[in-house]
Amino acid sequence: MRILLTGATGFIGSAFTRLALHRGHRVAGLAIPSESIPAGLPASDNLLWLRGTLDDAPWKAMAGFVPEVCVHTAWITTPGVYLEAPENERFRDTSHLFLRRVQELGANHVVGLGTCIEYQISSQPLSEERTPITPTTLYARCKNDLRLALESDSRARGFRFCWARIFYPYGPGEHPSRLCTSLIAKLSRGEEVVLKTPRSTKDYIYIDDIASALLQLVEQRAEGGVNVGTGIGVTVWELAQALGRMLGRPELVKRTEPELPDPLGYVVADSSRLRRLGWEPQYDLEQGLGKLLAAVRASTG
């Protein structure tokens, strides 16, 4: 299959590229001119790099590639910034125009990346069919706006559209400010980790499992909303304790008294739809954290 991929050098995009190549697909990866190609991506005759942006794309080269499907991962994701960044509105608008034109090139299947925080958060697993959509951050609102626009386009133009809501990714290559890598850094330096919301429960999914889920959606030509999560909730306390044990410093993991409330206190997927499509996670939390820890140690010597 010929797959056009935006955000191809990013955390999710690069993992998806590796797996898609391994399975024999052809990938055209759109990368902004200032980005370097990730060293971990293999050279392949099936991998074509295209330089450009969503609003200044290499349309002639993309038309020559003749994409069958577009997987759209490009968006602002900088920790501590992305939730309310004004750039979300630009990504919403340029993504819509870009994907409309890509569909005109012949791509009759679009897989876009949404977010689990589009949902109304409660104490129950989040379901594509039952949970209301009530985004509260600019990031989630703009993602949801794009979904609604593409759903309308899909009905009007007759292409297949799938919206993959990503839960909490982690793994090698993640931003150093993300939770798991930042915990590893502090514990490795012998610093105490004081958790303000230790009972906050999230659905952490290893990056290679996200890549396999997205490729499953492509290969199955899936449509509609699909949760990309494991269906397993893990507290921040359990996560930090696991890393503390792996690093031999569990005593460094503390919690505040009293604990602080977390408005996103329970964000766990109902993953039944994804599993019905044939997907199963290949990494449990201990395995995923072990691979991340090994990668961090290798990168820091």
Residue 163 lies in a domain: yes
Among candidates 94, 74, 76, 72, which has minimal Cα distance to 84? 76
Residue 278 lies in a domain: no
In a domain, 274, yes or no: no
Q: What is the CATH number of the domain that holds 69?
A: 3.40.50.720
Q: Which CATH number characterizes residue 257's domain? A: 3.90.25
Same domain for 130 and 261, yes or no, is no
276 assigned to some structural domain: no
CB 4 within 8 A of CB 70: yes
Within this chain, do residues 289 and 154 fall inside the same structural domain, yes or no? Answer: no
Asked if residue 223 belongs to a domain, the reply is yes
Nearest CA among 165, 162, 208 for reference residue 70: 162
Is the same domain home to 127 and 238? no
74 in the same domain as 160: yes
Banded model confidence at residue 39, pLDDT cuts 50, 70, 90: confident
Angle between helix 179-188 and helix 236-246 axes, rounded to 10 deg? 40
Q: 97 and 21, same structural domain?
A: yes
Burial 267-282 (b: 16+ CB within 10 A, else e): bbbbbebbbeeebebe
- Asked if residue 257 and residue 222 are part of one domain, the reply reads no
Count of residues in the chain: 301
| Tokens coding 21 | 């190549």
Q: Is residue 106 part of a domain?
A: yes
Per cent of the chain over pLDDT 90 is 95
Domains of the chain: total: 2
Indicate if 85 and 112 belong to the same structural domain.
Answer: yes
Say which DSSP state 43 is in.
P
Q: Would 222 be classed as within a structural domain?
A: yes
In a domain, 13, yes or no: yes
- Tokens 């942006």 -> residue: 53
Strands (E), the chain: 2-6, 26-31, 47-51, 69-72, 109-115, 160-166, 168-170, 193-195, 201-202, 204-206, 224-228, 234-235, 253-255, 266-267
Say if residue 70 is in the same domain as residue 210. yes
Domain ends where: 213, 228, 243?
228
- pLDDT classification of 37: cutoffs 50, 70, 90: confident
pLDDT reported for residue 46: 97
Sheet holding 266-267, edge to edge: 234-235, 201-202, 266-267
Mean pLDDT value of segment 254-273: 95
Residue 35 has pLDDT above 90, yes or no: no
pLDDT digits (tens, 9 = 90+) for 50-76: 999 999 999 999 999 999 999 999 999
Cα distances (angstroms) measured from residue 294 to each of 19, 233, 240, 285, 286:
20, 24, 16, 14, 12
Same domain, 67 and 142: yes
> In this structure, are 134 and 58 located in the same domain?
yes
Q: What is the pLDDT of residue 40?
A: 80
CA angle 290, 44, 274 (to 5 degrees): 50
To 5 degrees, how large is the angle CA 7–CA 113–CA 166? 115
Tell me the torsion sign for CA atoms 181, 291, 283, 111. positive
What's the count of helices (H) and strands (E) in the chain, helices before strands? 9, 14
Same domain, 121 and 195: no
pLDDT greater than 90 at residue 234: yes
What's the whole-model pTM score? 0.96
Whether residues 53 and 76 fall in one domain: yes
- As a whole number of angstroms, the distance between CA 73 and CA 13 comes to 6
Q: Which domain holds residue 152?
A: 2-169+204-228
